Amino acid sequence: MPSRLLAGSVLAVFVVFFVLPVLWLVLAATKTDQQLVHDHPLSFGSWHTLKANWDALTAFQDNAILLWLGNSALYAAISLVITLCVAVPAGYALAMTEFRGRRTLLVSTLVVMLMPNATLVVPLFLEINAVGLIGTMWSIILPYAFYPFGVYLTYIYFTTAVPKDLLAAARMDGCSEFGVFRLVALPLATPVIALVGFFSFVANWTNYFLPYVMLPESDQMPVQVGVGNLLSNVPSFNPTVGELAIERPQLALATLVAITPVLVVFLFAQRFLVSGMLAGATKE
Amino acid sequence: MAGSGRGRRRGASPQSRAGMAFVAAYVLLLIAFGILPTGYAVYFAFTDAGGTFTGFTNFITTAQDFRFVDAVGHVTLYLVFWLVSLVLFVVGLALLLHRLASRTAGQALRFLYYIPGALAGAASVLVWLFMLDPTVSPVSSLLGLLGFDTFGEVIAPGNLALLFTVIAFWTGAGGWIVVMYGALNNIPKDVMEAAHIDGASAWQTAWHIQIPMLRKWIVYMVILAFAGGAQLFVEPQLLSLASVGVAGRDYSLNQLTYDFAFQMNNINGAAAVSVELLVVSVSAAALFVARSGFFDAD
């Protein structure tokens, strides 16, 4: 059938579009710059070259790439912990308890959630500058930790997936309010905790603008800003670079290294991504 | 105590106090990193360096900057390309995937489409710098066919809106395809069966049943993509690093705010542009919330 053939080819073309660059990137890291230009684009170089590229990459500014990775991990991990400790109780309280100002808080969460955070980078800089935290890791960790989308996700989860009667029953049994949260609600919240954790981790790990502004020193950069920095040391992209240059395969390797943690977390979170937010995405 | 469930005294119940305690830390962050910077931006936008109220002077000065109108034009063009391609291809691909007979193939394809999502931020831009450089690109013959032989030709200013669209689509589309696919699955089976029995073609079913039922999700996607797209920064910034001279560092509005603030020492001008971006994005979002009933959960 021609229409099915057409549909099939459209889907296949998009597979190539989405996957080819990733595949190329992985292979590029195993080649020399010469091979990158002259060999088949989808050929494998050698393990030896991969090792050599790694050595050249780590030699750049004396292990800068490892330092950047460490920075990213530190920033993402601390802000993740704060996000979870803040967002989950907040979402729970918005969904399951009544208190004054609840509606106002809910509405402002929605507004702030839809407010793109890049617009606030300059004002945030001014604010952080006013309290003298520019150049410290808190200048990005604290803004990262503020994650209204996580509160909203938790709120939705508790309103739809946990019956209020369950909490009422626990209260009848003499559970304190904190006990209800810790003993009843929290164990039920594992899927949404994983989901919020995943989204917040990826958002923080991939953020560029905020750390670019807040942490100008090279040894404080997270890996996203770091690879941007590497880019301006690649002669083929930036002919003004002098001796201490980075070659393209090493930049490709740096890019791969920068995304690996996200890929790992992504593979782990796959299950939750499908069963959690995208509950409808699998056919029953 | 027992009869205190009435009116304002409810604020004192243990449940209410616990609720407030649970949200306290979040409220603190909300004020510090949501409300305060917004207020700060507005304050700076309407004052001069000395803190004197200046009305709309900052807005007028920045709008008269020779780069401002260009940047607005760039971002607008990019948004048009980006939103049109997103709606067209995401909905189209989700519909095609949904018609796929084999479940496993559908699942595999959704996963493959989703992979670039892990390369958000600077990584996706770096990947595409390679893809667009004819000397190393795996599709250099395709670039050649289109008449591009050097990296400089590919990233000529006139092509940038389209290139940024490709990059953004490559990283962002997969997630939306999964979302749309999920929404398509939630259309009741009997509705689809009825259409089938009535002899509706695939095209008619898509146009008259499936797409109308996706409407809410499509609008949601467009609003979020609009708000995100208006913030364009990392793509043009990295490109300007990679192409000294070809792509400027004043392509997008957010690059301008960066330049005003950190190169020209015009914090107030930067704040004015930030406020403009914020107003546009939040109005779009508010329109969406008001019209679509998307957040009717409460």
State whether B44 and A142 contact (CB < 8 Å). Answer: no
Q: What per-residue confidence (pLDDT) applies to A167?
A: 86
Cα B43 off chain centre by: 26
Give chain B positions within 8 Å (CB) of A283: 103, 185
CB A150 within 8 A of CB A79: no
Cβ-count burial of B228 within 10 angstroms (0-12 exposed, 13-18 middle, 19+ buried)?
A: middle
User: Please, what is the Cα angle at B222 between B210 and B216, to 5 degrees?
Assistant: 40
* pLDDT at residue B4 greater than cutoff 50: no
Structure tokens at A89: 């109780």
Residue of chain A with shortest Cα separation from B96 = A7
Phi/psi at B53 (5° precision): -65, 130
Nearest-by-Cβ selection for B99 from A7, A41, A119: A7
Q: Could you give the ipTM of this predicted complex? A: 0.88
Top residue of A122, A146, A274, A278 to mutate, by most chain B CBs within 10 Å, is: A122
A279 burial type by CB count under 10 A (0-12 exposed, 13-18 middle, 19+ buried): middle
What is the per-residue pLDDT across B134-169, written as a single tens digit (0 to 9) for each?
A: 989 999 899 999 999 888 889 888 899 999 999 999
Q: Which is higher by pLDDT, A226 or B287?
A: A226
B60 or B119, which is more confident? B60
Q: What is the mean pLDDT of chain B?
A: 87
Is there a contact between A114 and A152 (Cβ–Cβ < 8 Å)?
Answer: no
SS3 A132: coil
Residues 6+ apart with CB under 8 A from B182: A278, A279, A280, A281
Nearest CA in chain B to A97: B19
HSE, side-chain direction, 13 A CA sphere, residue A107? 6
Give the mean model confidence (pLDDT) for residues B110-124: 87
Residue B6: pLDDT over 80? no
Give the model's pLDDT for residue B272: 95
Regions in chain A scoring below 70 on pLDDT? 1, 242-244, 270-284
Tokens 């403009």 belong to residue = B276
| Size (chain A), residues | 284
pLDDT of res. A244: 67
Find the mean pLDDT for residues B105-132.
89
Q: B8 falls in which pLDDT band (50, 70, 90)?
A: very low
How far apart CA B198 and CA A208 sit, in angstroms, is 53
The two tokens of residue A226 are 């770091």
Residue B38, pLDDT > 80, answer yes
* Smallest CA–CA distance from B123 into chain A, residue: A255
| Whether A124 and B33 lie within 8 Å, measured CB to CB | yes
Answer yes or no: do B23 and A89 touch at CB < 8 A.
yes
Residue from B219, B200, B205 nearest B96 by CA: B205
CA dihedral B229, B235, B237, B242 (to 10 degrees): -160
Mean pLDDT of B59-86: 94
Estimate the crossing angle of helix B211-230 against helix B267-292, to 10 degrees: 170
pLDDT at A151: 95
Structure-token pair, residue B235: 């793509």
> Which residue in the set B100, B133, B241 is minimally distant from A232, CB to CB?
B241
- pLDDT tens, residue by residue, B234-273: 999 998 888 766 677 889 999 999 999 999 999 999 999 9
User: Nearest chain B Cα to A9, which residue?
Assistant: B96
What residues of chain A, 83 to 112, have a C-beta less than 8 Å from chain B?
A: 85-87, 89-90, 92-94, 97-103, 105-106, 108-112
Asked if pLDDT for residue B178 goes beyond 60, the answer is: yes
Q: What is the 3-state secondary structure (H, E, C) of chain B?
A: CCCCCCHHHHHHCHHHHHHHHHHHHHHHHHHHHHHHHHHHHHHHHCECCCCCECCCHHHHHHHHCCCHHHHHHHHHHHHHHHHHHHHHHHHHHHHHHHHCCCHHHHHHHHHHHHHHHHHCCHHHHHHHHHHCCCCCCCCHHHHHHCCCCCHHHHCCHHHHHHHHHHHHHHHHHHHHHHHHHHHHHCCCHHHHHHHHHCCCCHHHHHHHHHHHHHHHHHHHHHHHHHHHHHCCCHHHHHHHHHCCCCCCCCCCHHHHHHHHHHCCCCHHHHHHHHHHHHHHHHHHHHHHHHHHCCCCCC
The residue among B49, B69, B74, B67 whose CA lies nearest residue B269 is B49
Closest to A34 measured CA to CA, from A48, A49, A20: A49
Q: Between residues B241 and B23, which one has the greater pLDDT?
A: B23
Plot region of B167 (φ>0 → left; ψ -120 to 50 → alpha; else → beta): alpha
Instruction: Please give the pLDDT value at position B293.
Output: 65
Angstroms from A49 CA to nearest CA on chain B: 17
Nearest to B19 among A41, A87, A97 (CB): A97
